[in-house]
C-alpha cells in the first residue's frame, strides 16, 4: 500500500471513529462505544502489516571474499622453519595485494588488506609459537609500549623506534637490514616475527632507493588491523 493510501485509510479510520462515537454514545452507551472502537482498531491493525511489509527491502549482506592459500606457511611453521615462514608471510601479503611482481606495497595496498586474511596468517604464527609470534602479538606490544600511530613524522618515528627496539628489529641506534643476522629461533624476542614484511612496505622501499631522506615504515598499519 502506498503512503497516500495509508494516509487516506487513517483519515477514513478517524472519521469512522468520530461517527461511531456519536452514534453509539447516543444509542448504546459508553460500553458499546468501547466495543465499537476496538472493532475499528482491529481493522486498521490488519492493514498495517501489509503496508510495512511492502516497504521493507531485503537486508543487504556484506561479505568479503578472498582466496589465501596458507598451506605452505602452515607446513613451514609446523616444521619450525621460521625464517622460511617469515619470507612466505611477506609473499602472501604481496599476493593479496597483487604486487608479487613489484615486490613492494603501496600505501593504498596496505589499507586494502583484508583483516580476515591477516587474521588467518596470524592464527598460524600464534598457534605454532605458543603465542610468542604473530601480528596480534605485535599489536599488543605496540599498545603496551604506548606507541602512537601518527601523521607526524617525529611522533611516528619515536613510536616505531621504541617498538623496534623492543622486538630487536633495531639494535642500538641502527635498524637491522634484510641482510643482517637475525634470530629466527623460537626463543627470539616476543613479537619479533613475522618481520620480513616490513621490507615490502613503501617506507622502506622509498628510503632504500633514496627517494626519501627519512626512515619511516608504518608497519603498525598492518598489525593494528587486528
CA distance 85 to 88: 5
- Give the pLDDT of residue 210: 82
- The pair phi, psi for residue 174, each rounded to 5°, is -125, 130
Mean pLDDT in order along the chain per 10 residues (226 residues): 48 48 47 51 51 40 64 98 98 96 95 96 98 98 98 96 97 93 97 97 87 86 96
- Give the pLDDT of residue 67: 77
- Give the pLDDT of residue 38: 53
| Listed residue (131, 113, 110) closest to 122, CA to CA | 131
| Extents of the domains making up the chain | 3-54, 71-223
Classified as helix, coil or strand, 214 is coil
In this prediction the pTM is: 0.71
- Give the pLDDT of residue 221: 96
Burial class (CB in 10 A: 0-12, 13-18, 19+), 118: buried
Direct distance between the N- and C-terminal alpha carbons of the chain, in angstroms, rounded to an integer: 46
Grid cell 604473530 is found at 134
In three state form, how does the secondary structure of 54-121 look?
HHCCCCCCCCCCCCCCCHHHHHHHHCCCHHHHHHHHHHHHHHHHCCCCCCCECHHHHHHCCHHHHHHH
Contact of 96 with 117, CB cutoff 8 Å: yes
Contact of 145 with 163, CB cutoff 8 Å: yes
Q: Is the peptide bond before 194 cis (omega within 30 degrees of 0)?
A: yes
**H or E, element range at 125:** helix 115-128
Contacts of 216 (CB under 8 A, 6+ apart): 153, 156, 157, 160, 203, 207
Amino acid at each position: 500500500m502506498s503512503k497516500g493510501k495509508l494516509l487516506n485509510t487513517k483519515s477514513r479510520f478517524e472519521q469512522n471513529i468520530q461517527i461511531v462515537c456519536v452514534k453509539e454514545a447516543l444509542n448504546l452507551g459508553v460500553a458499546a462505544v468501547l466495543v465499537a472502537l476496538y472493532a475499528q482498531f482491529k481493522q486498521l491493525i490488519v492493514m498495517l502489516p501489509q503496508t510495512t511489509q511492502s516497504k521493507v527491502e531485503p537486508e543487504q549482506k556484506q561479505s568479503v571474499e578472498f582466496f589465501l592459500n596458507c598451506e605452505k606457511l602452515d607446513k613451514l611453521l609446523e616444521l619450525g622453519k621460521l625464517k622460511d615462514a617469515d619470507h612466505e608471510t611477506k609473499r602472501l601479503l604481496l599476493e593479496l595485494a597483487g604486487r608479487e611482481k613489484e615486490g613492494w606495497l603501496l600505501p593504498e595496498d596496505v589499507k586494502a588488506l583484508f583483516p580476515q586474511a591477516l587474521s588467518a596468517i596470524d592464527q598460524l604464527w600464534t598457534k605454532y609459537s605458543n603465542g610468542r609470534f604473530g601480528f596480534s602479538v605485535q599489536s599488543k606490544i605496540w599498545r603496551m609500549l604506548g606507541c602512537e600511530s601518527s601523521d607526524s613524522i617525529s611522533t611516528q618515528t619515536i613510536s616505531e623506534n621504541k617498538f623496534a627496539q623492543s622486538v630487536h628489529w633495531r639494535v642500538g641506534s641502527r635498524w637491522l637490514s634484510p641482510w643482517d643476522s637475525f634470530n629466527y629461533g623460537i626463543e627470539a624476542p616476543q613479537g619479533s616475527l613475522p618481520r620480513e614484511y616490513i621490507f615490502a612496505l613503501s617506507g622502506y622501499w622509498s628510503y632504500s632507493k633514496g627517494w626519501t631522506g627519512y626512515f619511516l615504515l608504518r608497519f603498525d598499519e598492518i598489525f593494528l588491523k587486528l
